[in-house]
Structure formats: structure tokens, C-alpha cells
A and B are shown apart, each in its own frame.
Chain A
Amino acid sequence: MKHKDKEALKNAFGIPEPLEADTFFERPEFAEVKEKRRRALLFHRIPAALRYGTIAVAAAAVIGVWGGFRNWAKDDKFPANEITATEETNTAESATGSEDTTSTAPEGNGKDITVTTTSDGEIIVTTVSSDDKGNSVTTVQTEAAPGVTGRTTTAAARPSSGRTTAPSGRTTAPSSGRTTRTTAVTTGTSVIRTTAAVKTSPSVVTTTQQMEEGHSQWPVVATTSQASKSSRDNTVEPDVVYDVHGTIVDCREFTGNAQSDPGDKATDPVSPMDPVYTNTMDLERLVYNSDLIVSAKVEKVIYTSENGFPVTQSDIVIENVYSGGMNSGDKISVRSSGGYMPVNEYEPAVKGGFSYKYPNAFVFDNRNDAFMPEEGDRFVFFLVEDEGIYKLSSDNGDSVFHSSGGYLISESSSRDRTTFMELVNTIARINDER
């Protein structure tokens, strides 16, 4: 459209010129509103990322300060758990109470162990070692005889100048002979962190739980070196993991083999009147053939398969090590034959041509006394290592024991049982022979 046509249209509308177009923007009320708005917009002119980032940093700082204050207040609230440096000395010291015998022996790995037996029958084990950073780690372990009340322990720290004392760290041992442990870490002459581990040590907590659950015979043996090392996660991820659901078909549908007698399983109630049946030769063979003997808690159960047969992987958290090169708190994967897998991958079903009958079903195979764990279960495992993965020594429930009624009972047969004492003696005997 031409300019003259636009002018013609503009005139045709007949709109008169405004009277205040020149003066309106000069008015003070307009300038005032504009200035007020300009000041308000200063905040909005800051980039949004910077605005929200600043808010986030401020919130994090507040949370951090609050968290630090709470930790400080908490530490201050329980001074009994603090071990503070009091003076410098060159001697490792086990303090108050009459003592019958004291023996000190340096270990080959740089640790000094002092064992003190008091007249009350109380045993105090003081271990001094160095961690990876060169810090001195002192552990005081007190084992009180039943019915005996524990007493104040004193932890001595090295190198040869930093002494740490627990002024109010009185540990009371219950009549069941509870084990307590305190740990101090020092650098040079000053204590950098001295918190009694009685409340926080995982092994001690575990011990307490087991006592409460009635496993009075549950073996609790944790060395100082195990406690001082950090836990390792050695679990592995299987190539295939099955989410078991829907229809479950028994393996006998395809194999025709009878399963082991369910009445023979270890879940049978154990009568205290039953005679102790310990096949010494089998236990020796089991210990001899095992790379690792531990008590552990099953943290996770995974169903997988190998070569067309189901395999159950148990990721376990080691609680006590009786034989082998692991530490308490370490996690490992244990694989055992038996479990669940899809029918259309199950070799007997595929070979027999029956897989089409159950297109979406899972087969359950627990033949040969298969070990079928559940999450949260606790067992003593006899294991062999195979390229980072642990397997049961006998690949069935023979090499897994649970504790009941003071016995360690085989998972494959409740008639196969032993005692912790027998197990420890056997391990010691085998180790001596080796």
C-alpha cells in the first residue's frame, strides 16, 4: 500500500490528535512509578542462574552450619565417649585394677599387642598399629568373664609420645561376657580423633544383635586388623538377572527327578534332645577345601543362570572371618546352583521340547540340596573362590550352616550339625597342618 493511501485511511478514520501525548511522560507521577519499578527490577536483571545459585549456596551454608553445630553439640553431650590426650609418655599402659599377667608381643605386620589378664578374669587386649596414613591406631578390647563388671580402660597411642586416656570411658561388661572395644587414632604427639568405638563399631553392634537373637553360640572372632580396615565391596553383577514373577513350575515337570525330601531340610525344628552328630571327617574336608570361612548376613538374593540351569547369587556382608583373607564388613557375591529361571531357557525343558507349554512361566529348581537363601538370613559359609566370585565348597547346602539351639546346623540336613568350638578347633588344626 502506498504512503498516500495510508494517509487517506488515517484521515478516513477521523481520529483526532491526542492532547497529552507530549506532556504525559513528563509528569512526575509517571516518572515516580517508573523509578520505583526500575529499582524493583534491579533484582530481576540479575541472571536467573546466578539468583537461584546464590540462594542454593546460602541454603547449603545454613544446612552445613546447622549440621556442624549438631555434631558438635552431640559430641559435647556425650563426653563419656571421648578419649582425650592428657600427657605424653613412652609406654603403652593398661590402667586400673589388679593384674595378674601382662604380655606384649610385636606382630610381624607392625602391630604391638599387649594382653593383660586381671585377677577378676578380665582380659584386656591392647593393639597398636599404623594405618595407611601413618597414624597410630590403638585398640583396646576388653573381654569380661561372666558375672564380672568391666572397668576403666586406658588406650595408649604411638609413636611413643602420645598417650590417650579414657577418663570416663568405663565399660561395663554384661554377664554374658560382652566384648567392648575402643579405638584411638593419633598423629605424632596429638590425638586427632579419639572417639570410643563402643557405640559405632559394626562388629560390636553385630555381636550385640546376635546375643539378643539368642545365638549364644554364634562365633564372634574379629581381629584388630579387620576392624581397622575399611570395608570393601567385592560383589559382582551377573550377566542376566531374572525378575521372578507369574507362574512357577517345579523342575520335576521336566526332569522327572524327585527332589530331596523336604522334611530333611535344615528348616526342621531342632530338638535339644537330638544327639550331636558331627561328621569330623566331613568337617575337616569342608574346612580343608575352603578358601574362605565366614559368618555373614545375606543382603541381596539375585536369580540368574549358567549354561541353561538356574543359579542363585547371594550378596553377603561378612560379619566375622574365621579363615581367609577378607575383613568383617566386606561384601562378596556367592553363587550356588539352584533357583529360578524362565522355562523357555531351562535346558531340560528346552531339550525335552516342553518349554512351549509354559511360555511365560519360571521354573524352580532346588535339586541336590540346593542352598536357597533369603535376604536377611545369617549363615556360616564355607567358600571357594573362582575368579572373584565365591562358590559354596560343595555347591549345595552342605557348606552352609545356620545357628540354632547352640549348634551350627547344615542347610542341607538338620542331622549334620556341629558346634562352634568344634569348628574353631578344626580350623586351627587344619591351619597347623598347612
Chain B
Amino acid sequence: MSLDLKEKYNKIYRYCYLRVNDRPTAEDITQEAFLRFIEHPQYRDIDEDIRILYTIAGNLCKDHFRKQTHDELPEDIPDDSADGEKLIEDISLHAALESLAPEDRELVLLRYVNEEPLGVISKLLGISRFSIDRRLKRILASLRSKLGKEDAV
């Protein structure tokens, strides 16, 4: 398996985890997204358009939540604190991120964690690159103000 493919897997996984906040579910959705991507009519090469992967994963996440609303709530609600691998070094930054709107949080993840180009994010979200750039600046300023220090991010 190429490193590039694994990197794509990690990106999609993070994207899904941010939405479902559950590792097994995020992995299931990630893998399903890859399988559907291969079967997608526009699929040519798995190394190509990651935007389609994001779109499929996003739709699968929506389907996941839609299904959850119809099912009974599970008795064992995932407990993040039980996840031993979840290491948060900067509690204040985590709190600042949690205070952001879900869309803004997703945007920060795509741009600064997954390091997707503005062009990919622009096509994925259906808004212009300039608009995304402005939104990111606004989000970073918000984070700075919440952290109370200039060099936090």
C-alpha cells in the first residue's frame, strides 16, 4: 500500500471522526467511502480526485446520523474519555475548537490538519477560494481571541 493511499485514508478518517466522534464508526464509514469511490462512475484512479472521497464520506456520515435518529439510542454511548489513545496536549485550544461552529471546525480540519488545497475545499463545499480564505482568517482570529494570546496559532 502506498503512503499516499494511507494518507488519504487518514484524512478521510479524520474527516469522518470529526463528524461522528466515534473511531469504529469513522473507520467503517471511511472504508465504505473508499469502496464506493472505486465503484463510482467517475472513478479512474484511486490516486485522483480526493474531493469525491470527501463527498462520499460526508454523505455516509449524514446517512449515519439519519439512521441513528430512526433507531433507538444505543445503551453504550461512546465515551471519549475511555479512549486511551486520545491525547490532548493543549486543553485550552481543544476547548476553543469545541466552541467553534461545526462547519468552521470542519474547515480548520480540512485546511490545517488534512492540509487540503483551497481548490479542493472550494469544490467540496461549493464556495469560492477567496471566501474560504476569509472564513479561515476569521476563524483563526476567533481562536486567538479565545486563547488570549497572539502566538497560540
Residues of A within 8 A of B (CB): 1, 5-6, 8-22, 24-26, 30, 33-34, 37, 41
Q: B13: nearest residue on chain A (CB-CB)? A: A18
Taking a contact as CB atoms under 8 Å apart, the answer to whether A14 and B109 are in contact is: no
Cβ-closest chain A residue relative to B87: A11
Asked if residues B39 and A21 are in contact (CB atoms below 8 Å), the reply is no
A251 to chain B, nearest CB (A): 68
- B152: chain A residues at CB < 8 Å are 8
B94: interface (CB < 8 Å): yes
* Contact of A30 with B86 in the complex, beta carbons under 8 Å: no
Query: Contact between B35 and A33 (Cβ–Cβ < 8 Å)?
Result: yes
The 8 closest A-B pairs by CB, nearest first: A12-B93, A16-B85, A25-B1, A18-B13, A12-B94, A14-B88, A21-B9, A10-B113
Cβ-based interface call for B50 (8 A): no
Instruction: Evaluate contact between A6 and B112: CB separation under 8 angstroms.
Output: yes
Measured in the bound complex, the distance between the Cα atoms of B31 and A41 in whole Å is 21
CB distance from B146 to the nearest CB of A (A): 12
Closest to A9 in B: B112
A8 CB, min distance to chain B CBs, angstroms: 6
Complex contacts, A13 vs chain B, CB 8 Å: 14, 18, 94, 97, 109, 113
Most B CB atoms within 10 A — which of A15, A17, A25, A34?
A: A15
A21 neighbours in B (Cβ, 8 Å): 6, 9-10, 13
Kindly identify which residue among B1, B23, B43, B108 contacts A26, using a CB–CB cutoff of 8 Å: B1
Number of interchain pairs (Cβ within 8 Å): 95
- In the bound complex, residues from chain B placing their C-beta under 8 Å from that of A16 are 17, 23, 83, 85-86
B86 and A20 contact, CB distance less than 8 A: no
Report how far A43 CA is from B96 CA in the complex, Å: 51
A27 CB to closest chain B CB, in angstroms? 9
Q: Nearest CB to that of A6 among chain B residues?
A: B112
Are A6 and B115 touching (Cβ within 8 A)?
Answer: yes
B89 and A11 within 8 A (CB)? yes
In the complex, residue of chain B having the shortest beta-carbon distance to the beta carbon of A45: B44
| B86 pairs with A18, CB closer than 8 A | no
CB distance from B137 to the nearest CB of A (A): 11
Q: With A14-B88, A30-B34, A37-B38 as known contacts, state yes or no: A9 contacts B113, CB within 8 Å.
A: yes
B77 at the interface (CB under 8 A from A): no
Contact (Cβ within 8 A) A9 B108: yes
Q: Chain B residues with Cβ under 8 A from A34's Cβ? A: 38, 46
Cβ–Cβ contact B9 & A14, under 8 A: no
Mark interface residues in B26-41 (1 if CB within 8 Å of A CB, else 0): 1100110011001100
From A6, A17, A18, give the contact of B30 (CB < 8 A): A18
Q: Annotate B73-96 by CB proximity to A: 1 below 8 A, 0 otherwise.
A: 000000010010111111001101
- Among B10, B44, B83, B153, max chain A CB count under 10 A is at B153
In the complex, chain A residues whose CB is within 8 Å of the CB of B140:
1
Question: What are 26 A-B interface contacts by the 8 Å CB criterion?
Answer: A6-B113, A8-B152, A11-B90, A12-B88, A12-B90, A13-B14, A13-B18, A13-B94, A14-B86, A14-B94, A15-B17, A15-B86, A16-B85, A17-B85, A18-B26, A20-B31, A21-B10, A21-B13, A22-B1, A25-B6, A26-B1, A30-B38, A33-B35, A33-B38, A33-B39, A34-B38
A15 and B1: CB pair below 8 A?
A: no
B87 with A8: CB separation less than 8 A: no
Given contacts A5-B153, A8-B93, A9-B153, contact A15 B18 (CB under 8 A): yes
B141 at the interface (CB under 8 A from A): no
Q: Is A12 touching B97 in the complex (CB atoms < 8 A)?
A: yes
CA distance A21 to B153 in the complex (A): 29
A16-B17 Cα distance, complex, nearest whole Å: 9
B39 contact from A6, A9, A37, Cβ within 8 A: A37
Verify if B5 is at the interface (C-beta below 8 Å from A). Answer: yes
Contact B34 A18 (CB under 8 A): no
Q: Closest Cβ of chain B: how far from A51's Cβ, in Å?
A: 15
Cα A24 to Cα B38 in complex, Å, equals 14
Chain B residues near A30 (CB-CB < 8 A): 34-35, 38
- Interface contact B34-A37, CB-CB below 8 Å: no
State in angstroms the CA–CA spacing of A1 and B139 once bound together: 13
Interchain CB contact (< 8 A) of A14 among B35, B80, B112:
B80
Write the nearest CB–CB distance from B101 to chain A, whole angstroms: 15
Contact A8 B90 (CB under 8 A): yes
Q: Which residue of A lies closest to B136 (CB)?
A: A1
Interchain CB contact under 8 A, B94 and A18: no
Q: What is the distance, in angstroms, from A14's C-beta to the closest C-beta of chain B?
A: 5
* B108 contact set on A, CB distance < 8 A: 9
- CB pair A9 B93 closer than 8 Å: yes
